[in-house]
């Protein structure tokens, strides 16, 4: 099956219509992404700033680009002009930089707050205490060029499906807490969780966005 067929199959059989598919195209060539684009799919995710910028310039402009990886503050300016959604906002400082770059570009930049839900040390993310602290601050209220659209998280890389499920439940709990406390009638609607290995559980637990790479594009070869 071609990449385009994979995407069509996925959208028809695996993903409910209320869940958005982010096709994670990191490390894949412009030609392969164009092949995927032929399916009609328009939402793609990348995890490195330079790669995202290069692909943005090389590919059709109706693609909705999602930044799903860790973003360094000094690199926000490169994606600020065009990015549709930044999934990995893991500090208030980063949010403030995104706001500043949004101001310069006269855009409101969509963001998700990334929470650390995994039992692994290696993954980035906020905890609820940190988030509560800045969401209740005056500085936060003054940010006019960012929109907090929801939350994002990554489960532990494990075979333990109960652990994965409990981590996704935790993210949903965090989402509800924040929605009720700070962001009730806003655009705060998205829960980005689930990858190739755990998207089924994520959807069962209430994901509104899944980020899927290898199941659509095949395994990644990092030594290219």
Residues that bind ligand PLP (CB under 6 A): 24, 26, 47, 68-69, 154, 195-197, 211-215
The least distance separating ligand PLP from the CB of residue 208, rounded to whole angstroms, comes to: 15
Nearer residue to ligand PLP within complex by CB, 55 or 143 = 55
The least distance separating ligand PLP from the CB of residue 145, rounded to whole angstroms, comes to: 24
Question: Do 23 and 2 contact (CB within 8 A), yes or no?
Answer: no
Nearer residue to ligand PLP within complex by CB, 106 or 222 = 222
Strands 146-153 and 109-115: parallel
Instruction: Decide: helix, strand or coil at residue 154.
Output: coil
Instruction: Decide: helix, strand or coil at residue 67.
Output: strand
Nearer residue to ligand PLP within complex by CB, 4 or 145 = 4
- Please, is 34 exposed, middle or buried when counting C-beta atoms within 10 Å of its C-beta (0-12, 13-18, 19+)? middle
Question: Do 36 and 2 contact (CB within 8 A), yes or no?
Answer: no
The least distance separating ligand PLP from the CB of residue 44, rounded to whole angstroms, comes to: 12
Nearer residue to ligand PLP within complex by CB, 41 or 211 = 211
Question: Do 36 and 217 contact (CB within 8 A), yes or no?
Answer: yes
Question: Do 87 and 124 contact (CB within 8 A), yes or no?
Answer: no
The least distance separating ligand PLP from the CB of residue 16, rounded to whole angstroms, comes to: 18
Question: Do 155 and 117 contact (CB within 8 A), yes or no?
Answer: yes
The least distance separating ligand PLP from the CB of residue 62, rounded to whole angstroms, comes to: 22
Q: What are phi and psi of 67, to 5 degrees?
A: -90, 110
Nearer residue to ligand PLP within complex by CB, 87 or 143 = 87
- CB closest to ligand PLP, residue no: 213
């Amino acid at each position: 099956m071609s990449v385009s067929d994979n995407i069509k199959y996925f959208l028809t059989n695996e993903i409910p219509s209320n869940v958005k598919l982010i096709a994670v195209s990191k490390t894949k060539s412009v030609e392969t992404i164009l092949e995927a684009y032929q399916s009609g799919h328009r939402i793609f995710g990348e995890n490195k700033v330079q790669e995202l910028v290069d692909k943005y310039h090389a590919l059709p402009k109706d693609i909705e680009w999602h930044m799903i990886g860790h973003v360094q503050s000094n690199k926000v300016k490169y994606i600020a002009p065009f990015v549709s959604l930044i999934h990995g906002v893991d500090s208030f400082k980063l949010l403030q930089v995104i706001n500043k770059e949004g101001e310069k570009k006269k855009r409101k930049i969509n963001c998700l707050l990334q929470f650390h839900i995994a039992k692994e040390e290696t993954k980035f993310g906020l905890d609820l205490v940190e988030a509560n602290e800045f969401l209740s601050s005056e500085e936060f209220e003054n940010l006019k060029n960012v929109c907090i659209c929801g939350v994002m998280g990554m489960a532990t890389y494990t075979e333990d499906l109960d652990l994965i499920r409990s981590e996704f439940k935790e993210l949903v709990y965090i989402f509800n807490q924040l929605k009720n406390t700070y962001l009730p009638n806003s655009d705060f609607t998205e829960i980005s969780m689930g990858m190739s290995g755990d998207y089924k559980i994520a959807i069962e637990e209430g994901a509104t966005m899944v980020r899927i790479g290898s199941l659509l594009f095949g395994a990644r070869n990092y030594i290219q």
